Structure 1
Amino acid sequence: SIRFEANLIYDTVCGVDCLFHIFPALHTFITTYTGISGKTIAGIPEFFAVTTLDGQQIDYYDSETESLVPRQEWMKEYASKELWKEDTEIREQVQQTYKNNIAVLMQRFNQTGGVHVYQRMYGCGWADETGESYGFDQYGYDGEDYVTLDVKKGRYTAATPQAMESTAKWNNDSSQLEFLQQHYEYECVYWLRFFINSRKAPLETPEVSLLQSSSSPVVQCHATGFYPSAMTITWLRNGQEHDEDVDLGETLINEDGTFQRTSTLNIDPDDWKKHRYVCVVEHKGKTIQKVLTEDEIKNNKSKLIIVWYSVLCLFLVICTLFVQSRMKRVSMFTCIFV
């Protein structure tokens, strides 16, 4: 059967935490190829390819339809261009390559039958606040790591003895390695930014809410749905900036490509009833103020559930990407044989 190893899910916890600290407001552009050999469950094709932008599927191809399909309305304009035809042809080539590669891998692993899965995921991440970016390129076989490309060093590493023949051959191809380094540093980030701009309106104003659970002294000033990501959240106490017992969270990406951010204030209820506390959100020249009162918090009780649900969904999306990233995208430009 096709399986994702349980230990991979465990391993993603640190990865997700580290990602938020290194790349706040990180955008991701990822393509995954999956080839399957052997008798599969009905409805699962022998080969399929998926591209995601910030965890949202934007195109899909499989060996049964042999057509590349846009998954978002805003992708249909791009799908009408000549490049779409080229992208389709690339997936057709990779489909055949994967079929051949699985046969070779079965020999290396001394396998004569059963269901086997060969996967690749490659792409890039980009933080729009800092301009930092990174590329990644990873292969997996039967749910285990197979080969990983260190993009910065331009060198493949084998995760298993059976992969050493592949890495020796690929590391000998200096022109391909140089090409991939250039792609992940420049071209991949270019297309990531191109698609981000294609899907979005130029400017979105944040929706601001004050949230508090009934048993907690912590009040959250939550801003969501804004674009671009640059914004500030500050607290005022009696008209003066207040930063005591304040924790400003990282900027996170919503599923629709807008952003959210939360500033928490740890405060005794008696204190904010005696003094005037205001959360001030500034974004692209606009200022939104929310005065901390019982009525304001009561009006937003239902939103607290929605916010935590959204954060949970965002965490699961990123976990999924990292689980996949331990296992999976033949280059957009050449078909690599094992």
Structure 2
Amino acid sequence: MRKMLLKLVLLCLWHLVASHAFITTYTEINGHAIEGIPEISSVAALDGRQIDYYDSEIKMLIPRQDWMKEFISGDRFKEYTEIRERVQQTNKINITVLMQQFNQTHGVHTYQRMYGCEWDNETGYSRGFDQHGYDGQDFILLDMNELRYFTPVQQGVITMYKWNNNRAQLELLRQYYQHECVNWLQHFLKLRKVDLERAPEVSLLQKGPSSPVVCHATSFYPSEVTITWLKNGQEHHEDVDLGEVLPNEDGTFQKTSSLNIPPDEWEKNQFVCEVQHQGRTFRKTVDEIKNNTKSVHCCGFIEAVIRLVLSVLVGVATVIILVYDITSY
């Protein structure tokens, strides 16, 4: 499961360096082998933010974002839920057959599928992906460039040949990932429009008189932001420790820039932290330093990744599911 989870985390963070990503995953655990974890679950994520959740115990598709309420009120939400129910029945068969194919008669085993698309709203570039895993290892994957499946394990060869010989299905997949998936991604972006821009909250924090002064920008969206220190009106780059852009739990972002200089430098010069975001500029001066008794840290990122990995362990989902019957493994 480790490889599949790592790939999901990387893809969910894809929007930090590109534009948008819509990812759906499914997880099936044979039987009720682990207490508190449902047999089948699903989760969908838009730009790294979970937007819904479904599992075989609650048997309901639950929105994870307020803006999804508009989607819930429409007819397509019912279809969205029915898809999960159909996949639940299909996955029960799939994992049973996979256990037989791997010559396994007992034990806890997991089947996962992760797929979706990426889209750059500036260039129009899009890319689809479709990956299947068993017990944490890659089982079969779709190469969108060559439009064919490949497998790293001997047990997947039969399925690989079967799916690659179905050219009509492969063409449907191409159309889905190039067009329909992107259309769904754009649809959800429109529903999420209230979240598309949030101005940063900027603070100057300092633990003590001799500690570095931290310029902390948080709660902004999208993720592109620039933090610059000014000394007497000129850009100052010495003794500056610039942090990475990190995601907050609510889908916004944070970034820090620390200035470590002696106290007398603050008295002799005027230092200003300047934050630029979406064409707007925000400034904080030394007079606005807050005495922070707790260290500025990056736990928002760690917590977000932990929540993401836990949701993967109990989750998987999709907008338009292309159900695979793998009984011929």
TM-score, normalised via structure 2 length: 0.79
Question: Is 2:42 aligned against 1:49?
Answer: yes
How far has the Cα of 1:12 moved from its partner?
4.2
- Given the alignment, which residue of 258, 261, 281 partners 2:252? 258
Contact 2:114 2:130 in 1 (8 A): yes
Q: What is aligned with 1:76? A: 69
How far apart, CA to CA, are the structure 2 residues paired with 1:148 and 1:41? 27
Query: SS at 1:159's partner residue?
Result: coil
Question: Is 2:325 aligned against 1:337?
Answer: yes
- Given the alignment, which residue of 113, 130, 147 partners 1:120? 113
**Which amino acid is 1:109 matched to?**
F
Question: Is 2:57 aligned against 1:59?
Answer: no
Question: Is 2:24 aligned against 1:31?
Answer: yes
- Given the alignment, which residue of 301, 304, 307 partners 1:311? 301
How far has the Cα of 1:217 moved from its partner?
6.2
Contact 1:138 1:328 in 2 (8 A): no
Query: SS at 1:164's partner residue?
Result: helix
Q: Compared with structure 1, are the counterparts of its residues 331 and 163 closer, same or farther at alpha carbon in structure 2 (3 Å cutoff)?
A: farther
Q: RMSD over aligned Cα, in angstroms?
A: 3.8
The alignment covers a number of residue pairs equal to 323
How far has the Cα of 1:263 moved from its partner?
3.0
Question: Is 2:236 aligned against 1:242?
Answer: yes
Contact 1:150 1:156 in 2 (8 A): yes
Q: What is aligned with 1:90? A: 83
How far apart, CA to CA, are the structure 2 residues paired with 1:140 and 1:273? 60
How far apart, CA to CA, are the structure 1 residues paired with 2:240 and 2:124? 27
How far apart, CA to CA, are the structure 2 residues paired with 1:169 and 1:331? 25
How far apart, CA to CA, are the structure 1 residues paired with 2:254 and 2:306? 16
Query: SS at 2:298's partner residue?
Result: helix
Structure 1 stretch displaced more, 167-176 or 309-318: 309-318
Deviations 1:59-89 (A, max 9, x none): 2223344433323333222012121122223
Q: Compared with structure 1, are the counterparts of its residues 149 and 320 closer, same or farther at alpha carbon in structure 2 (3 Å cutoff)?
A: farther
Structure 1 stretch displaced more, 79-88 or 122-131: 122-131
Query: SS at 1:74's partner residue?
Result: helix
How far has the Cα of 1:193 moved from its partner?
4.4
Question: Is 2:211 aligned against 1:221?
Answer: no
How far apart, CA to CA, are the structure 1 residues paired with 2:19 and 2:210? 30
**Which amino acid is 2:70 matched to?**
E
Q: What is aligned with 2:103? A: 110
Contact 2:13 2:48 in 1 (8 A): no
- Given the alignment, which residue of 282, 294, 299 partners 2:276? 282
How far apart, CA to CA, are the structure 1 residues paired with 2:134 and 2:190? 35
Deviations 1:211-270 (A, max 9, x none): 345598654322111234444322211112223444544444333232323334343444
Contact 2:42 2:316 in 1 (8 A): no
Query: SS at 2:272's partner residue?
Result: strand
**Which amino acid is 2:322 matched to?**
T
Q: Compared with structure 1, are the counterparts of its residues 334 and 74 closer, same or farther at alpha carbon in structure 2 (3 Å cutoff)?
A: same
**Which amino acid is 1:81 matched to?**
G
Q: What is aligned with 2:226? A: 232
How far has the Cα of 1:106 moved from its partner?
1.9
Listed as ranges, the matches of 1:122-161 within 5 Å are 122-125=115-118, 134-161=127-154
How far apart, CA to CA, are the structure 2 residues paired with 1:236 and 1:20? 31
Contact 1:208 1:223 in 2 (8 A): yes
How far apart, CA to CA, are the structure 2 residues paired with 1:165 and 1:141? 15
**Which amino acid is 2:306 matched to?**
L
Q: Compared with structure 1, are the counterparts of its residues 266 and 179 closer, same or farther at alpha carbon in structure 2 (3 Å cutoff)?
A: farther
How far apart, CA to CA, are the structure 2 residues paired with 1:123 and 1:40? 28
Contact 2:80 2:319 in 1 (8 A): no
Deviations 1:124-163 (A, max 9, x none): 4557788776543221212332122233443322132101
TM-score, normalised via structure 1 length: 0.77
Structure 1 stretch displaced more, 220-229 or 156-165: 220-229
